[in-house]
Amino acid sequence: MPSAQDQTIHLLWINAGLSCDGDSVALTAATQPSIEEIALGALPGLPQVAVHWPLIDFECGPTGGADDFLSWFFRAERGELDPFVLVVEGSIPNEELHEEGYWSGFGNDPGSDQPITTSAWLDRLAPKALAVIAVGTCATYGGIHAMAGNPTGAMGVPDYLGWKWKSAAGIPIVCVPGCPIQPDNLAETLTYLLYQATGQAPMIPLDDALRPVWLFGGTVHEGCDRAGYYEQADFAEAYGSPKCIVKLGCWGPAVRCNVPKRGWINGVGGCPNVGGICIGCTMPGFPDKFMPFMDAPPGGGLSTKAIGPYGKTVKTLRGITAHTLDREPKWRRRKATR
């Protein structure tokens, strides 16, 4: 029986949705693991991976043209590229909302020489894919392009395929949100699915929003270095303060994201870690439910007032305790030893 390392899994990445390509750029900064380690199979037990990614096409190389790159997608459509994982970046526009033209496309159809729309690629490839991963908040839940009043009818992959959709292998859509994604969150999710595909990991655990539970199970607040200030009712009134920034518009107590714990690159950075508010970019309600971004959350005023008396009392008691602990025991003094 062939080992996992003898198997080849193709990774087909479509970035033709409505997006800024920020998630592709972010992935280049991943270190746990890096995209190079995934592509080269440098991790123990990882199968061989052929990465077909517009940003860095490892399989075609720098001399391969657009036709060489797209040929992999046509092969997958014909059923000649099994197994493959489909990665979608960018929201899916509704091509039924216009009379002519198209909102977004990815290559041309060889028969008609007309652009193949993003939604058409999903229709062609999703049923044949081992798994479908929606990368970034635009692809997962619509994101910026799906704001109220947008003309494109943009939506996330789960809204297009259906929230209960499963691949031929029985895997639900896997959503890795973020605007852009935290690099290691995506690299880790890709790695998990590759191990699962070769029978080395159980079904990927997802929450109700189809996010990996171990990455998005906690809130920003739970992992934030500023959470202790919140507990003591120490709130920043202006940027530049190390205190809790809820009053400045931070949604951390309600947003599911691990950036404060994980950092951004090599454990460094991340919105609240560097003084920025959390605007909820990993949530399905982003951005509409979090605007205007610089205003305190609706419940922020109530919660900060409610915690005020408790926080001040706790801070005072801790101050007294700290003052006591900040002194050496009396028997260590010179007079006590004579």
Task: Give binding residues for [3Fe-4S] cluster as ranges.
Answer: 278, 281
| DSSP string covering 270-288 | -TGGGTPPP--TTSTTTTG
Q: Which among 131, 16, 36, 135 is positioned nearest to 82, based on CA atoms? A: 131
Cis before 47? omega within 30: no
Cis before 2? omega within 30: no
- The continuous run of DSSP H or E covering 3 comes out as none
Residues 308 and 233 sit within 8 Å (Cβ to Cβ): yes
Count of other CB atoms within 10 angstroms of residue 320: 9
Name the amino acid, one letter, at 155.
Answer: M
Whole-angstrom distance, CA of residue 155 vs CA of residue 152: 9
Written as six digits, the tokens of 318 are: 């801790």
- The continuous run of DSSP H or E covering 195 comes out as helix 183-197
- Alpha carbons within 13 angstroms on the beta-carbon side of residue 282 total 29
Beta strands in 169-321 (DSSP E): 174-176
Residue set of the binding site: 20, 138, 179, 221, 224, 244, 250, 278, 281
Residue set of the binding site for [4Fe-4S] cluster: 20, 138, 179, 221, 224, 244, 250
